[in-house]
């Protein structure tokens, strides 16, 4: 077999998988054409259904829609903003976890706090429902202690939705996110810490002057990734926690595009138009943050 034939044959081996990637990852980009049509399934799109930029204009020309999109953007920015503002939490979690000298205890805490990362949002919701319902553990304890007189309806409350969503996100992810920092801590030069101890530094001083500065490069990457994903909160968490009471403040962009496509008669073109704009802004954000990272750290994360 000649070298040339072999190089083509090797390409043929991977061709089926390239086709699969083209179909499931690239072909959906073609789905953006639905944003330019009056599409009502099951009737397929054709030249007759083409409406140009109608749906994009609709977003800004229809006052109700514009207000809606504005509200959803506020929710998205609030949820992402809170996450960003508290993005240091896993780092601090790791730093103090590392201070625990008792190895089995440390391991236990680590195992238990990382577990929620591996359960689905549906299960998180189920946990929340079981623990927070009117007969759940939290209400039972609070009532029997006399802190409250009657059970609080935590899940159907429309107050502090943004913050509570952050709490659940943190409950699920913080322990897991801390692992990366724990790994970075083990890479810190022991001699530096020994030297500080010999000079009489307290533990807080060591944490503040050595550990945290050594973790900042990792933290920086996390912040950049947070910024790159600023518009992409995903829909699953918000979808499972959504109800009629909190809907107004829980709808983020990813959930909103789902809701407008599935509720009522289902407006697929409008939904597609909004998610198309979102995708374009997201890619732009990725480029910007990656460039910033390259300027600051000398290397990007893409």
Site for other proteins in 78-117 (CB under 8 A): 93, 96-97, 99-102, 105, 108-109, 111-116
Q: Does 122 bind other proteins (CB under 8 A)?
A: yes
Q: With contacts defined by CB under 8 A, how many residues of the chain interact with other proteins?
A: 96
Q: Does 131 bind other proteins (CB under 8 A)?
A: yes
CA distances to 120, 172, 190 from 204, rounded to whole Å, are 37, 28, 16
Query: Whole-angstrom Cα distance, residue 58 to residue 38?
Result: 12
Nearer Cβ to other proteins (63/185): 185
Q: Does 163 bind other proteins (CB under 8 A)?
A: no
Which of 66, 126, 156, 291: binder of other proteins (CB under 8 A)? 126
Q: Does 296 bind other proteins (CB under 8 A)?
A: no
HSE (CB half, 13 Å, CA atoms) of 188?
24
CB of 203 to other proteins, least distance (A): 5
Give CA 2 to chain center in angstroms.
Answer: 50
Binders of other proteins in range 238-267 (CB under 8 A): 239-240, 254, 257-258, 261
Which of 64, 145, 147, 204: binder of other proteins (CB under 8 A)? 204
Binders of other proteins in range 206-225 (CB under 8 A): 218, 221, 225
Q: Does 60 bind other proteins (CB under 8 A)?
A: no
CB of 217 to other proteins, least distance (A): 11
Which of 60, 148, 283, 288: binder of other proteins (CB under 8 A)? 283
Q: Please, which residues bridge with residue 37 across strands?
A: 50
Nearer Cβ to other proteins (247/278): 278
Q: Please, which residues bridge with residue 50 across strands?
A: 37
Which of 56, 88, 129, 245: binder of other proteins (CB under 8 A)? 129
CB atoms under 10 Å from CB of 258, counted, come to: 17
Q: At what angle are helices 121-132 and 137-145 packed, to 10 degrees?
A: 20
Return the SS3 of 50.
strand
Nearer Cβ to other proteins (61/126): 126
CB of 277 to other proteins, least distance (A): 9
Residues constituting the chain:
302
Binders of other proteins in range 28-47 (CB under 8 A): 28-32, 34, 41
- Tell me if the bond preceding 75 is cis, omega within 30° of 0: no
- Tell me if the bond preceding 42 is cis, omega within 30° of 0: yes
Which of 180, 212, 214, 281: binder of other proteins (CB under 8 A)? 180
Binders of other proteins in range 138-157 (CB under 8 A): 139-141
Alpha helices in the chain (DSSP H): 3-21, 27-30, 54-61, 63-85, 89-98, 103-114, 121-132, 137-145, 161-186, 190-198, 203-206, 212-228, 236-241, 247-250, 253-262, 268-297
Nearer Cβ to other proteins (162/168): 168
Instruction: DSSP letter for 37, please.
Output: B
């Amino acid at each position: 077999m000649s070298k040339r034939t072999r190089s083509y044959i090797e390409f043929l081996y991977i061709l089926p998988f390239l086709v699969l990637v083209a179909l499931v990852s690239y072909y959906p980009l073609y789905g953006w054409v639905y944003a330019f049509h009056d599409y009502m399934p099951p009737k397929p799109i054709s030249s007759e259904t083409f409406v140009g930029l109608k749906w994009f204009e609709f977003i800004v020309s229809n006052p109700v829609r514009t207000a809606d999109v504005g509200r959803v953007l506020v929710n998205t920015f609030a949820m992402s903003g809170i996450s960003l503002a508290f993005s240091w939490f896993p780092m601090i979690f790791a730093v103090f976890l590392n201070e625990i000298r008792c190895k089995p205890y440390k391991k236990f805490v680590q195992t238990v706090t990382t577990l929620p990362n591996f359960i689905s949002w549906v299960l998180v919701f189920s946990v929340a429902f079981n623990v927070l319902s009117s007969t759940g553990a939290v209400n039972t304890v609070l009532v029997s202690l006399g802190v409250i007189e009657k059970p609080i309806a935590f899940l159907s409350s429309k107050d502090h939705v943004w913050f509570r969503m952050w709490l659940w996100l943190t409950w699920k992810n913080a322990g897991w996110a801390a692992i990366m920092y724990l790994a970075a801590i083990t890479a810190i030069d022991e001699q530096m810490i020994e030297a500080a101890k010999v000079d009489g530094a307290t533990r807080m001083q060591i944490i503040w002057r050595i550990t945290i500065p050594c973790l900042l490069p990792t933290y920086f990457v996390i912040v950049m990734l947070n910024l790159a994903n600023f518009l992409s909160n995903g829909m699953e968490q918000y979808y499972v926690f959504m109800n009629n009471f909190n809907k107004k403040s829980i709808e983020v962009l990813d959930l909103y595009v789902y809701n407008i496509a599935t509720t009522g008669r289902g407006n697929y073109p409008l939904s597609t138009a909004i998610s198309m704009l979102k995708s374009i802004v997201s890619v732009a954000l990725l480029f910007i943050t990656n460039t910033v990272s390259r300027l600051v750290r000398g290397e990007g994360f893409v």
